Amino acid sequence: MENSKLEELKKLVEEGISCAKDAKDLNDLKVKFLGKKGEITNLLKSMKDLPAEERPQFGQMVNAVREQVETEIQKHLAEFEAAAKAAKIASESIDVTLPAKKMQYGHAHPNTKAMEEVERIFIGMGYEVVEGPEVELDKYNFEKLNIPAGHPARDEQDTFYINENILLRTQTSSVQARVMEKGKLPIRMICPGRVFRSDAVDATHSPSFHQIEGLVIDKHVSFADLKGTLDKFAKELFGPDTKTKLRPHHFPFTEPSAEVDVSCFKCGGKGCRFCKGEGWIEILGCGMVHPHVLEMCGIDPNEYQGFAFGVGLERIALLKYEIDDMRLLYENDTRFLNQF
Ligand code: DAH
């Protein structure tokens, strides 16, 4: 009777093995038959109810089946594991015949290139590069630059106001007062940065653009130093044959003030489509720092003088890379940017 029970169990195990789909099924099978409360284990436990003389033979039989079942399950487990490993390796294998992905190299934006070029030139002349906040106090953007409330110059530089006293700066000139107020003299700095105006977008205007401010304060600084500095700057930027011309102008924070034109580097000054037949191209505003501005920033104008200038970065980039629409600089179309 016990014999037939054993045979039955063996058959059940074999069926279980042939139905097992994975290692888990096999492990379940192992628990079911060989576990602490497994059916074969129970058979062994029931041995105590048999007459003593039958026990050895019965024990041998059950143990033989147990070993057989265990070996069988173990064998199939190993097969499942080997198959799983093979599948994993196959899924992770690298197809070395696949063509490699093309590397896309980026490069600096024309604005960044122009900015770095300007910085390189002034650093070479001993200038320090400083930065100021884009969200600025009215005090620094206007008041301390001789542009009090109600001054007509404010009309040309309408901007975005956070509140009555805080605005998005319209010019990097705001950094002039911040640097002067610190009281560390002499000063020789440039300040590149983003500025804002409530201008509509067109080929030459944008509500957000960049300027580079320059400021020099020292004893015995003259208009000749300003002229020489800017001439050197223009030659470095546009080539050694470039000439500069200063036209009288008005800025509230400089006196006297001027706008600077460079001879057209395309036609050499003869007049062409690029310079609209003028032979000259305007590139920046400048002047001697107004004594009242110095006073407002705690500097004695009888002891110190200085000059300042402001360059539009986009204007430089457009000229240098011969781009005729400022909007192209902001669209970030890689077909355009790849050309520089
Ligand atoms: N901040 C002026 C502007 O945005 C440009 C400028 C002119 C800056 C003369 C200067 C300067 O420092 O001296 O129009």
pLDDT in tens, 184-218: 999 999 999 999 999 999 988 999 999 999 999 99
Share of the chain above pLDDT 70, in %: 99
Write down the pLDDT at residue 139.
97
Backbone angles phi, psi at 208, to 5 degrees: -140, 125
Tell how far the Cα of 42 is from the centroid of ligand 1, in angstroms: 98
Q: How many residues does the chain have?
A: 340
| Structural contact between residues 213 and 309, judged by C-beta atoms closer than 8 angstroms | yes
Quick one: which of 200, 224, 193 has its CA closest to 311? 193
Write down the pLDDT at residue 2.
58
Tell me, rounded to whole angstroms, the distance of Cα 206 from its chain centroid: 22
| Structural contact between residues 257 and 250, judged by C-beta atoms closer than 8 angstroms | yes
Half-sphere exposure of 41 (CA within 13 A, CB side): 10
pLDDT in tens, 92-125: 888 889 888 888 888 899 999 999 999 999 999 9
Residue nearest to atom 7 of ligand 1 (CA): 285
Tell how far the Cα of 285 is from the centroid of ligand 1, in angstroms: 5
pLDDT of 248 above 90: yes
SS3 category, 187 = strand
pLDDT in tens, 81-91: 898 899 999 88
| Structural contact between residues 271 and 277, judged by C-beta atoms closer than 8 angstroms | yes
Residue nearest to atom 2 of ligand 1 (CA): 310
Write down the pLDDT at residue 299.
97
Share of the chain above pLDDT 90, in %: 62
Q: Which numbered atom of ligand 1 lies nearest the CA of 254?
A: 13
**Residue range 278-294: mean pLDDT, rounded:** 97
pLDDT in tens, 124-171: 999 999 999 999 999 999 999 999 999 999 999 999 999 999 999 999
Write down the pLDDT at residue 186.
98
Res. 1 pLDDT band, cuts 50 70 90: very low
Q: CB count, 10 Å around CB of 308?
A: 24
Residue nearest to atom 4 of ligand 1 (CA): 171
Write down the pLDDT at residue 311.
97
**Residue range 316-322: mean pLDDT, rounded:** 92
CB-defined site of ligand 1, < 6 Å: 171, 173, 213, 251, 254, 285-287, 308-310
Mean model confidence pLDDT for the chain = 92
| Structural contact between residues 213 and 190, judged by C-beta atoms closer than 8 angstroms | yes
Tell how far the Cα of 164 is from the centroid of ligand 1, in angstroms: 23
pLDDT in tens, 2-37: 577 888 888 888 888 888 888 888 888 889 888 888
Residue nearest to atom 5 of ligand 1 (CA): 310
Identify the burial level of 173 via C-beta atoms within 10 angstroms of its C-beta, where 0-12 means exposed, 13-18 middle and 19 or more buried. Answer: buried
Mutation test of ligand 1: which of 309, 311, 314, 316 has the most ligand atoms closer than 8 Å to its C-beta?
309
Tell how far the Cα of 252 is from the centroid of ligand 1, in angstroms: 9
